[in-house]
Structure 1
Amino acid sequence: MELIQPSETLELVHEHGNWQISQDIGFSPVQLVAASAAACSTYVFEKLLDERGIPYELDKVLFDYQLGVYYPNPIAKIDVQFFMKANDRVREEIESVFYQISEHCPVIQTLHPRVKVNASILFV
């Protein structure tokens, strides 16, 4: 991976288009950390469900984060919400798999233990 600085903004080089990384334009590094935790959680959740043959439809994933109150204000909390469609008879199985996300997600495992990752499922 490569970072370049063609202007005042850093860019993460990617074959399908560079990502701008800045406090003001594009994604901030902190947003990328939160997005990485949410994306990894999603990949892991879907993989675990698929491996077990549990039918579902992932409608969307929303996430948000909060910074700590004291300098240097690291991320204190990441909230991830999975909006899913599933038959009533498999929802309990989905919830069982849901609780296994953290132990299989390398991004969450990489975060400092003080960073709380709160995930939830909303069946739609």
Structure 2
Amino acid sequence: MTENVKTITLTANDGNFELQQETANWTLRADQGYSPVQMLASAAAACGGYVYQEVLENSKVPFEMKKAEVAYTRDEVDNKAHPLKEIELTFYLQVPADLQKKATSCLRLINRNCPVVQSLDPKITISEKAVFVD
């Protein structure tokens, strides 16, 4: 392995896998915490949000990020594993009215600059939108 390898240990506990944290472990199981698929979709949203904020800063667009939402669908028909089919990222932020068009244009740079999105199967459709709030 190369020197860039990062390791995360998941602890097995009563048939569940847990991601260890200082304050409390995160159970990676849908009926007891977040499922691995939910974590994957959330990782795309968080990573996309960080990239979007950086793009806005580099584009000199003042903003205040309020929240990000992720909606996803799974392929329930064509694949027995039910992998992710679509991910929609929605960012809620404040941007001056005269710069909202520019902020919307910046969305197109998220996918090509987000390492999580770049790591996903290209068959997964990923879309982004900005909702401007007061």
Q: TM-score, normalised by structure 1?
A: 0.92
Displacement, 1:47? 1.1
Displacement, 1:43? 0.5
Structure 1: how far apart are the matches of 2:95 and 2:102?
10
Alignment RMSD (CA, Å): 1.3
Displacement, 1:64? 1.3
Instruction: Tell me the residue number matched to 1:60.
Output: 67
Instruction: Tell me the residue number matched to 1:32.
Output: 39
Candidates 110, 129, 133, aligned match of 1:120: 129
Instruction: Tell me the residue number matched to 2:57.
Output: 50
1:62-101 mapped onto 2 (5 Å cutoff): 62-69=69-76, 70=78, 71-101=80-110
Structure 2: how far apart are the matches of 1:16 and 1:50?
32
Candidates 102, 105, 108, aligned match of 2:111: 102
Contact 1:76 1:114 in 2 (8 A): yes
Instruction: Tell me the residue number matched to 2:22.
Output: 15
Structure 1 outlier segments of 4+, above 4 Å: none
Aligned pair count reads 124
Contact 1:62 1:81 in 2 (8 A): yes
Gapped regions of structure 1 (runs ≥ 5): none
What percent of counterpart residues are identical? Answer: 30
> Residue 80 of structure 1: SS of its match in structure 2?
strand
Displacement, 1:85? 1.3
> Residue 65 of structure 1: SS of its match in structure 2?
strand
Structure 1: how far apart are the matches of 2:103 and 2:92?
12
Contact 1:9 1:25 in 2 (8 A): no
Gapped regions of structure 2 (runs ≥ 5): 1-7
Displacement, 1:16? 3.7
Displacement, 1:79? 1.1
